[in-house]
Amino acid sequence: MTPKPAGPPDGGWGWVVAAAAFAVNGLSYGLLRSLGLALPDLAEHFDRSTQDTAWVSALALAVQQAASPVGSALSTRWGARPVVMVGGVLTSLGFVFSAFARSLLHLYLGLGVLAGSGWALAFAPALGTLSRYFSRRRVLAVGLALTGNGASSLLLAPTLQLVLDTFGWRGALLLLGAITLHLAPCGALLRPLVLPGDPPAPPRGPLAALGLDLFERRAFLVFALGTALVGGGYFVPYVHLAPHALDGGLGGYGAALVVAVAAVGDAGARLLSGWLADQGWVPLSRLLAVFGALTGLGLLAVGLGCGGALLAAAGAYGLSAGSYAPLVFGVLPGLVGVGGVVQATGLVMMLMSLGGLLGPPLSGFLRDETGDFTASFLACGSFILAGSFIYMGLPGALPSCRLASRPATPPPERGELLPAPQVALLSPGGPQSTLDTTC
């Protein structure tokens, strides 16, 4: 039998898992962010509208996120290692299949369904496994892994534009199919970790396996509502930031520069946000609301900007969006505990898919109706601002209690948002307090 450690190792092999999660994030969301450069070529080749081609990326995002609870459930049953490896193979096959597409339907099936399903099997199990390896430096580790998004965008955006100019979109998709196959060895690095408090056996029944019982927790329900609204606008720049720059007259490499600037700001802010959150100076829920609101304001600026102003707005958006990203996943152990963090990660991805499926097509529709992306980015920024307003109710959704003695560091098994197990509840009968381990 594998001995259970006293808690998350907070380092050691966890840094290898962080590197694997870094690569998984780069080969999923980082690639999706750069894929918008190919959409104008697809629209021209198939003679379809911006709205029609936007469904390619929208379906990939939606399937990847909506099916993430399935990836989490399979990971809980079979372990993250084989699930992520299978996901890498499926993603690669999706890109190779799409390279031979004869219609947009083939791209919907290849990139949207097949590659999206592969990403669903890879991302949530990798990030959930990483959260189990850390406690006091958890948000920093998650932020480090999520910088793979920005680093990949920084490298892939100019490279993909060069490949598109040289080999066309079919050759570009074949190359991306070879690159995404590297998700398989990343999955092989996810060593299983058994912790105290883990259930003795995998959950039985589909509802328990998917973690749907987590919605019975009021705090998680508030978080879920805010996250679903944020998802309505958060992924629109992944699809339409590059086309928006092209509409502004920046050209192919100018659009790639805009994407790269956003990626650099995104990557740097994720590390800084993770470090800041782990200091414990500001509650995670408050940081989540603040950086979410700044992301919404940044997208409003992107919609109104052009030329050099668009470049500056893209950098501001990247900084705010990068600061927001690690907090969404770093707050989960405090809401559901380390034992449920893999399932909760899958559910968060599913919630964001509700907006991810509708946001890019709505953005494309507004562009077709108005002639530019200004209204599109104003709408998606408004969605994010609304979700951030919901987050403001998150601290009030937690039990009303105070610590008997504030711990020096957040207890690893409870997370940063919830208080420690030993708390003093104010008794209505007098000044005496009673201990409650569920607060």
Q: Does residue 416 sit within a domain?
A: no
| Kind plus residue range of the DSSP H or E element containing 155 | helix 138-180
Q: Does residue 408 sit within a domain?
A: no
Which pLDDT value is given to residue 183?
94
Which pLDDT value is given to residue 265?
83
Q: Does residue 110 sit within a domain?
A: yes
- Residue 439 vs residue 209, higher pLDDT: 209
Give the domain extent around 249: 211-397
Q: Does residue 283 sit within a domain?
A: yes
Q: In this predicted model, what pLDDT tens digit does every residue of 84-123 receive, in sequence order?
A: 999 999 999 999 999 999 989 999 999 989 999 999 999 8
CATH number of the domain that residue 134 is part of: 1.20.1250.20
**Domain edge (last residue) among 158, 193, 228:** 193
Distance CA 383, CA 375 (A): 13
pLDDT at 383 over 50: yes
Which pLDDT value is given to residue 187?
93
Mean pLDDT on 37-48? 86
Q: Does residue 3 sit within a domain?
A: no
Distance CA 48, CA 141 (A): 42
Q: Does residue 100 sit within a domain?
A: yes
Confidence of residue 435 (pLDDT cuts 50, 70, 90): very low
Amino acid letter, 404: A
Confidence of residue 270 (pLDDT cuts 50, 70, 90): confident
Question: Looking at the 3D structure of the chain, how many domains does it have?
Answer: 2
Q: Which two tokens stand for residue 104?
A: 């947009």
Domain identity same for 92 and 184: yes
Domain identity same for 215 and 82: no
Which pLDDT value is given to residue 197?
66
Domain identity same for 141 and 218: no
- Residue 58 vs residue 71, higher pLDDT: 71
Domain identity same for 388 and 356: yes
- Look at residues 164, 141, 190, 221 and name the one whose alpha carbon lies nearest to residue 39: 164
Which pLDDT value is given to residue 437?
34
Quick one: what percent of the chain has pLDDT higher than 90? 20
Domain identity same for 189 and 216: no
Q: In this predicted model, what pLDDT tens digit does every residue of 146-185 receive, in sequence order?
A: 888 777 877 887 888 889 989 999 999 999 999 999 999 9
| Maximum CA extent, the chain | 77
Which pLDDT value is given to residue 90?
95
Q: In this predicted model, what pLDDT tens digit does every residue of 217-259 receive, in sequence order?
A: 888 888 888 988 898 888 788 778 888 888 777 777 788 788 7
DSSP, res 17: H
- Look at residues 224, 243, 435 and name the one whose alpha carbon lies nearest to residue 349: 224
Average pLDDT, the chain: 80
Q: Does residue 204 sit within a domain?
A: no
**CA–CA distance from 159 to each of 202, 281, 390 (Å)?**
43, 40, 39
Domain identity same for 227 and 178: no
Domain identity same for 300 and 263: yes
Q: Which two tokens stand for residue 433?
A: 């307090």
Most confident of the ranges 36-50, 116-130, 192-206 = 116-130
**Quick check: 284 and 419 in contact, CB under 8 A?**
no
- Look at residues 42, 53, 65 and name the one whose alpha carbon lies nearest to residue 239: 53
Beta bridge partners of 425: 434
Q: In this predicted model, what pLDDT tens digit does every residue of 277-332 receive, in sequence order?
A: 888 788 888 888 889 999 999 889 988 877 778 888 888 888 998 889 888 888 88
- Look at residues 288, 297, 34 and name the one whose alpha carbon lies nearest to residue 179: 34
Which pLDDT value is given to residue 36?
77
